[in-house]
């Protein structure tokens, strides 16, 4: 009789986990660049019945929680520093405090007071940081590398980022030049990435990265779309369906415990 209690308890525990995962997906339905997750289950070991070849399962266990990296909808924002990746790839950002790097699909960037292109948490976007496109480092938007014909005292008037990731700067005297280029990273097994919060991922070594970041539209990478953001790929219809299934499964396992308890009461009551 105790076997049924333990089996049902394992079901309650795992379906609670699934409800937690679904709840997190729904909570992030409007989070920029968010990738939804799913819960995968597997059966626990089976116990052989004495004197027979029959086996009885002992419940369910968690096989893992995996992220779905399908493309989210790209929404126009008309903000020049907002970037979306149309296709495969991740932006790379660097924490200046310890030089650690993270991958992200959230391109809600801005230029800080030091003219660096940074994410919402102040981490610097990575790419070719020089006009000669030879140095991979923090991207900066200023007049460094401007043509020799640029007027003395000219400053940055405006800039734009094209589909290839080039940062095109226009100076106040009308001259233009490429200040740098946003580069992307791609992983052969993105399911190995570890969510760190703030739309960032670590664990890149285990995910099979390219040897180095590459230009958009190369090595299977997507293009960069400026003035737009990739929205969450959460499908509310699917999530609500999964929530109902998980809830009913939780209730069914609760009923197993209730039924097992009633049978136990009957057995205990045999003495009377």
Q: Which residues lie below 8 Å from residue 75, measured CB to CB, with a gap of 6+?
A: 228, 229, 230, 231
Report the pLDDT value the prediction gives residue 220, as an integer from 0 to 100: 94
Q: How far is CA 131 from the centre of its chain?
A: 31
Model confidence, pTM: 0.87
Q: Which residues lie below 8 Å from residue 77, measured CB to CB, with a gap of 6+?
A: 227, 228, 229
Cα 50 from Cα 196, distance rounded (Å): 48
In the predicted model, what is the mean pLDDT of residues 148-157?
94
Report the pLDDT value the prediction gives residue 16, as an integer from 0 to 100: 94
Report the pLDDT value the prediction gives residue 148, as an integer from 0 to 100: 92
- 46: number of CA atoms within 13 Å, CB side? 10
Cα distance from N-terminal residue to C-terminal residue, the chain? 20
pLDDT tens for each residue of 118-145 = 999 999 999 999 999 999 999 999 999 9
Cα-atom radius of gyration of the chain, to the nearest Å?
A: 27
Report the pLDDT value the prediction gives residue 226, as an integer from 0 to 100: 97
Report the pLDDT value the prediction gives residue 57, as an integer from 0 to 100: 77
Is 60 in contact with 14 (CB distance < 8 Å)? yes
Least confident of 63-67, 214-218, 260-264: 260-264
Whether the predicted pLDDT of 231 surpasses 70: yes
In the predicted model, what is the mean pLDDT of residues 40-59?
78
Q: Mean of the per-residue pLDDT values for the chain?
A: 93
pLDDT tens for each residue of 53-101 = 777 777 888 999 999 999 999 999 999 999 999 999 999 999 999 999 9
Cα 57 from Cα 47, distance rounded (Å): 6
Whether the predicted pLDDT of 18 surpasses 60: yes
Cα 19 from Cα 2, distance rounded (Å): 26
CB atoms near residue 241 (< 10 Å):
12
């Amino acid at each position: 009789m105790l076997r049924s209690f333990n089996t049902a308890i394992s079901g309650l525990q795992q379906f609670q986990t699934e409800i937690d995962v679904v709840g997190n997906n729904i909570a992030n339905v409007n989070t920029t660049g968010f990738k939804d997750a799913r819960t995968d289950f597997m059966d626990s070991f089976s116990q052989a019945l004495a004197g027979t070849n029959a086996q009885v399962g002992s419940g369910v266990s968690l096989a893992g929680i995996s992220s779905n990296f399908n493309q989210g909808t790209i929404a126009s924002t008309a903000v020049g520093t907002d970037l979306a990746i149309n296709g495969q790839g991740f932006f790379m950002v660097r924490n200046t405090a310890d030089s650690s790097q993270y991958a992200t699909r959230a391109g809600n960037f801005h230029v800080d007071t030091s003219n660096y292109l940074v994410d919402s948490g102040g981490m610097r976007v990575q790419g070719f940081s020089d006009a000669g496109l030879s140095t991979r480092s923090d991207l900066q938007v200023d007049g460094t590398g401007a043509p020799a014909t640029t007027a003395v005292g000219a400053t940055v008037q405006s800039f734009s980022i094209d589909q290839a990731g080039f940062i095109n700067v226009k100076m106040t005297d009308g001259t233009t030049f490429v200040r740098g280029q946003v580069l992307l990273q791609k992983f052969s097994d993105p399911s190995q990435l570890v969510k760190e919060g703030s739309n960032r991922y670590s664990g890149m070594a285990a995910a099979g990265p390219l040897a180095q970041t590459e230009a958009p539209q190369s090595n299977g990478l997507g293009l960069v779309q400026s003035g737009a953001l990739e929205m969450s790929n959460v499908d509310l219809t699917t999530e609500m369906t999964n929530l109902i299934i998980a809830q009913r499964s939780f209730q069914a396992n609760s009923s197993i415990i209730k039924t097992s308890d009633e049978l136990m009461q009957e057995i205990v009551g045999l003495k009377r």
